[in-house]
Every structure is written in structure tokens, then in C-alpha cells.
Copies of this chain bind each other. A is one copy, B any other.
């Protein structure tokens, strides 16, 4: 009836995106649940928006690479230029700007949107991914940094990660500015130096030195590198810099809160052009794969690009693909049961309406129940349970219905419990 003649339609999804079968969706839901749970516990409230945005939103604010090479955009039937959002920050800034008069600061927002980038699909890099966005608007001082980084740390701990499993690298663009001034790097070279530093990890030490020398001169390059190699001592040596003082204080407070895996990293800049101050990035400490997990920073000028008002902001984005990889690598993904609590299997010649009446009693007590109405042999009904990861099974036939005596079995431990429906419910409630 459908398809062209007998030709079958392909069952493949679009390239670089994922189908989420129930067992995959359950993992997504677990990850999103931990993220959202921690964000909410810190007082952040959820917002949302459409995946479609005017293309204009990204033209001057996202990184050039994203807009020119990676954005999904098209012209709609009404000649509007539309984009599939490649990141969420411009959207949240747009929304904040639009209603700033009605929103009392501090504004604490979170969302877990899907984002699109046209990339060659590869490990950890898909065309669609989901990303927790946590943003705190309206706080110009380090209280924002300290809170949001504490929250990010909390999420990692809730996932079961230990401090030795990851590292929080932190820096400030304002500190770099002060450092550049101190060693007389010209203001108009600043953006180029940022970008070069951002690529440092991808270059050999020699190539990096060479490029840096070519950009700001051998002497300044040598001085800059000497300063970088100081590590935390740099923050002390720059005692005239407010940025250094704040960064020092911030690190102290975070360590005071028990976050020992924070490390000042003067070469950390992050790609987005909208960052204006502190930036941070969390790395896996796994030596074989010391990848970046997620990061964020301060962007005090972004809301200002919509309205004549400056709203300080600090936030981060944490992607599902990278985090899932991390959890798998570190063996932190829990085994996840089905959301179905009980499967009722049906013996032959059983009155199915009576079975549904029992299912209804379960549901009314908050127990999720599925009835096997496949009419398959009982043995086959039971065999399919292991695939479904349903924790309990109850077989019902005329005998059980007549005596109102049922037996529920734990599909893993094979432990059984018999009794009337209220006994079974009490048993399930206490599991």
C-alpha cells in the first residue's frame, strides 16, 4: 500500500543523529535526571525554547567556525533565514533581554536542549547532541563563579565520579589582559594571542613558541611563557592585578568547600568570543584520553547586544555524548531497570477483563504494570521478560482469579511472594 510499489523505505535515521530505543532513552533519562536534579537543588529553574531560531541570532555572536562551517540553516517558505540552534547561550540571553524588567536577579536558569552542528560524525561529536545549560544572570562578582563551579562539581559527584577522575581548570581573560599589559603585548594583538593560546594543546611546544614569537616578538613570547610556567605562583606575583586577586580568592573558596581538584591554568581561553572574564573547563584525568568534558565562563556583554543594559552572566554547558562516554569509561553507568514495575503474564483461557481489573488496582497504587496480551504460550511470555528488564512478573490464570491468590516473582533473584492483591502491593511498596 505504501512505498513505491514494493520498494521498501530505508529504516536508517538521518546521518549523525541517534535513535533512542527504550534502553537508550533510559540512559538519557538517567543522565538528564542527575543534571536536572542537581541544578534544581541549587535553585535553578527550567526554561525552554524552540530548536528553530532566526539565523541572525548567531551571525555576530557565536564563533566564526560555527556560523560559517557548522550551522544548520535554511530559508523557510516565507523567505526567513532560520537556524537549528548550535548552542543555547544566545537563546537564553535573548530571552533574558526580552523580559529583563520582569525578572528579579539573581536569575538562575537551566535547560537541557538539543543542539545541532554540521560535523563529520566521530566519537563524541555527533550532529545532534543534548546539553545541560546552567546560567546565573545578574551577579557581577565572584559569588557567581564560585556557585556555578560548585554546582558543576556537584553534578560530577552525583554521577559517582571521584575528585581524582577529573580536574577543573580555571583561568580569567581579565588576568590574561593584565599579563599582556604587564609585558607590553599590544592591545590589537590580543585576540590573535587568545586564539593561538586556545590552540596550544593541538600544537607541538616548538610550533607554539615559533608562532607566538612571530606574533608578538621573541622577547615578549619568552616573557609570556615564563609567566605561564609559574602556575599558581603567577597569581601571587601579579599582586597589582584585581583579576589575579579574585582568581586567587575564588580558588581558595572552592578549595574551602572541599573542591580540591581545581587547578589554575593560564593557557585556558575557550573558543567562544563572548567570554569576558573567568573561564573554566573540566577534563577527564584518564591519561589515555585526557579529553575536555565541558566548560563555561563569564559573558557580561551578551545580553547587552539585545538591549541597552548590561546584565552580568556566568554559566556552562555539559553535553550528553561526552558525559556518557566519561561515565562508561569510568564504569559509572548504573544498570537501569524498565519503568515498568510488573509484567502480568496470562495463562490460557483466562478472562482478560479480570486481569485488567487487577492491573488497574496496581496502577492506582502507583505501580506501573504491563499486561502480556500477545496470546503467546506462557513459556514464551516469560522468556521475553529478560529482554524487557522488568523487575517483577506475576502469572495470572483462572485459578488465581478464582482464589484471589497470586504469586509475584522477582525476575532477577527469583524470590517469590504469594497472597491477595493487597499483600502483593504491600510487598512491592517495600521493595
Listed in ascending order, the chain A residues whose CB lies under 8 Å from chain B are 1-4, 8-15, 17-22, 24-26, 28-29, 40-54, 56-57, 60-61, 72, 74, 76-78, 80, 82, 84, 94-95, 97-99, 102-106, 108-109, 114, 116, 118, 127-128, 138-139, 143-144, 147, 150, 253, 256-257, 274, 301-302, 304-308, 338-340, 343, 352-353, 356, 363, 366-374, 384, 387-388
Contact = CB atoms under 8 A, between A and B. Distances in A.
B9 A369 contact: no
Contacts of A374: 104-106, 138-139
B363 A54 contact: no
B387 A1 contact: no
Given A21-B47, A47-B21, A374-B138, A15 B80 contact: yes
A424 to B, nearest CB: 16
**Complex A-B, nearest 7 residue pairs according to Cβ-Cβ distance, in ascending order:** A43-B370, A104-B384, A17-B50, A74-B74, A20-B48, A11-B98, A2-B305
A384 B43 CA distance: 15
B52 A8 contact: no
A373 B143 CA distance: 7
29 contacts: A3-B305, A8-B306, A9-B56, A10-B54, A10-B56, A11-B307, A12-B54, A13-B50, A15-B78, A17-B50, A21-B95, A21-B99, A26-B46, A43-B340, A43-B370, A43-B371, A44-B370, A45-B339, A45-B340, A52-B84, A102-B387, A103-B387, A138-B374, A139-B374, A147-B356, A147-B371, A147-B373, A253-B353, A256-B353
Contacts of A1: 301, 304-305
B256 A9 contact: no
A76 B80 contact: no
Total copies of the chain: 2
B53 A13 contact: yes
A60 to B, nearest CB: 5
Given A42-B369, A52-B128, A139-B374, 12 more contacts: A2-B274, A8-B307, A9-B306, A14-B50, A15-B78, A19-B50, A21-B47, A22-B46, A24-B48, A40-B339, A42-B370, A51-B128
Contact of A45 (B15, B22, B61, B116): B22
Contacts of A301: 1-2
A93 to B, nearest CB: 9
A150 to B, nearest CB: 8
A97 to B, nearest CB: 5
A370 B50 contact: no
A178 B43 CA distance: 61
A138 B312 CA distance: 55
Given A72-B76, A307-B8, A14 B52 contact: yes
A193 to B, nearest CB: 17
B95 A19 contact: yes
Contacts of A95: 11, 19, 21
B43 A9 contact: no
Contact of A9 (B9, B72, B128, B305): B305
B305 A94 contact: no
The residue in A103, A106, A366 that gathers the most chain B C-beta atoms within 10 A of its C-beta is A106
Given A80-B14, A305-B1, A305-B3, A9 B50 contact: no
A1 B14 CA distance: 38
B60 A48 contact: no
